[in-house]
Structure 1
Amino acid sequence: MSEQLAVPLPVSHPRYGRLQFAAMGASDLDAVVRIEEAVYSHPWTRGNFQDSLYSGYQAQTLRDAHGELLGYFLVMLAVDEAHLLNISVAALHQHQGLGRMLLDQATGLARQHHMRTMLLEVRESNVHAAKVYRQYGFTEIGRRKNYYPAANQTREGAIVMSLPL
C-alpha cells in the first residue's frame, strides 16, 4: 500500500463534533461494503475494494468520535493526475457537508502528492452529485457513453469532470 500523506488528524463538524480521517484498511471493509450496498444501485464489491487497497490506491475513511463509519474515498494517483474512483457518504448522514469534507481531504492528499488535476466520473442520472462537484469547482470535460451498468441490463453514460489542483 502506498503512503497516505494527508494527515489523519481530527476535524470538527457542527453536527457531529470531532471526526477522524484514517487510512482505509482491510478491517474497514465490512462497514465500507455495507455503505456501498446501501447507497448505490450497482455497488463496488468487497473484491473491488480489496484490489484497490492491494494496488496501493489512496483510500481513507471518515469516522465519528464513536467510531461509526460516515464515509470514505479512494483515489488513484498517476503521474500528475489524481482519479477519484469512489467517494461515498452513509445514507443516514448525507446532505450534512460530509461529502465536501471528503473532497477536501481527497484533494489535499492529491496536492501533497504533487498532482495537478483531479478527474472523476459521475452517472448522468446523479444530478445531485454532479451539482456538488460543480459547486466544488469541477468542470465537465467530456462524456463516456454506456460507462456504468444500469437497470434491466442496460448501461448509463458518465459525465467526466476535472478539477485543477
Structure 2
Amino acid sequence: MINTRFLIRKMTIKDIDRVMIIENESFTLPWSRDSYLKEFDNEYASYLVCDVRGEVAAYAGIWVVFEEAHITNVAVDRRFRQQGMGRALMERLEQEACNKKAASIMLEVRPSNLAALTMYRKLGYIQTGLRREYYSDNLEDALLMTKYLF
C-alpha cells in the first residue's frame, strides 16, 4: 500500500491505458477499451480519476439521465486501496448528480464484494432491489443499492 495524497480530476483519453490495467485487475467481467472510449461521446456520462503524482490510481463513472443517476463503475488499483480514494470518488459523483438535479443515485454490486458494500452503506446507500443471476461469469446476483439525494 502506498500512502499518499491524490487529486480527483476528469478522466481523459490519455488515462485509458491505466484505467484498463485497473479495470482488468479489479473485475472478472471488465469493460472493453472501446466501451470506455465511447463514454467520452456519451452526453449523460461523467468519468473521474484519482491522480497520484501523474499516475491514475482509481476511477469512477456515472450516468445522469433526468432525475436518475447510475454509477457505472468504481475501481481502485490494489496498491492504493484503503486510502479513501473510492469514497472520495463516490462523493464527487454524488456532487455531480446533485448538480444535474438527480433525485437519486443507484448502482449494482456483487453481494460477495464486502469492501464495496461496506463503503456504500457508510455513504448512506440502501438495498432497494436484487437482480438475479446478473453477473454472467458465475451467475451471482447483483444487489441494487440506492441513495436518495434530497
Is 1:141 the counterpart of 2:125? The answer is no
* 1:68-102 Cα deviation digits (max 9, x unpaired): 11111110011111100001111111111111111
Q: CA deviation at 1:111?
A: 0.9
* 1:30-69 Cα deviation digits (max 9, x unpaired): 11001111111221111121122221311111102x2111
Partner residue of 1:61 out of 28, 35, 49? 49
| In 2: Cα distance, 1:159 partner to 1:112 partner | 26
Is 1:42 the counterpart of 2:29? The answer is yes
Partner of 1:98: 85
- TM (norm. structure 2) is 0.92
Partner residue of 2:141 out of 140, 146, 157? 157
Moved over 3 A (4+): none
| In 1: Cα distance, 2:8 partner to 2:71 partner | 17
The one-letter code matched in structure 1 to 2:32 is: T
Segments of structure 1 that go 5 or more residues without pairing to the other structure are: 1-14
The one-letter code matched in structure 2 to 1:110 is: A
- TM (norm. structure 1) is 0.84
Q: CA deviation at 1:149?
A: 2.1
* 1:107-151 Cα deviation digits (max 9, x unpaired): 11111111111000001211221111011100000100111122x
Partner residue of 1:74 out of 61, 66, 73? 61
The one-letter code matched in structure 1 to 2:51 is: R
Partner residue of 2:76 out of 77, 89, 92? 89
Specify which structure has the higher proportion of strand: 1
Segments of structure 2 that go 5 or more residues without pairing to the other structure are: none
Q: CA deviation at 1:27?
A: 1.2
| Cα RMSD for the two superposed structures | 1.2
